[in-house]
Amino acid sequence: TNSQMSVLLIDLTHFKQFNETLGHLAGDKLLQLIGERLTNSVRKRDFLARLGGDEFALVMLNTITTQIIEKVVKKIMTAFSRPFHI
């Protein structure tokens, strides 16, 4: 089989500062909300994982065109444009 995949690395800006300022419970809740939004933004066949700290990886299987990748990235950006309520 000839299959393609793309890997998207997501690093959260200022998460360490958020975690240190508001505490680890708030940081854990924020990570849960981020995980939910990421999960809802990607395709069911893709693989999403938290690498550690404030880093996530998305492995997109069968990404034949850049339009597919762009569509997923736009969905993630839209999901992250809304405020997070902790």
What digits encode the pLDDT tens for the residues 35-80? 999 999 998 889 999 998 899 999 988 867 888 889 999 999 999 9
pLDDT score for 2: 59
| Mean pLDDT within 6-35 | 92
In this model, does residue 1 exceed pLDDT 60? Answer: no
Bridge partners of 59? 7, 47
pTM of the predicted model as reported, rounded to 2 decimal places: 0.84
Higher pLDDT, 21 or 1: 21
| Mean pLDDT within 11-21 | 90
Whether 54 is catalytic: yes
Of the listed 11, 28, 46, 54, which one is catalytic? 54
Whole-angstrom Cα distance, residue 37 to residue 67?
Answer: 21
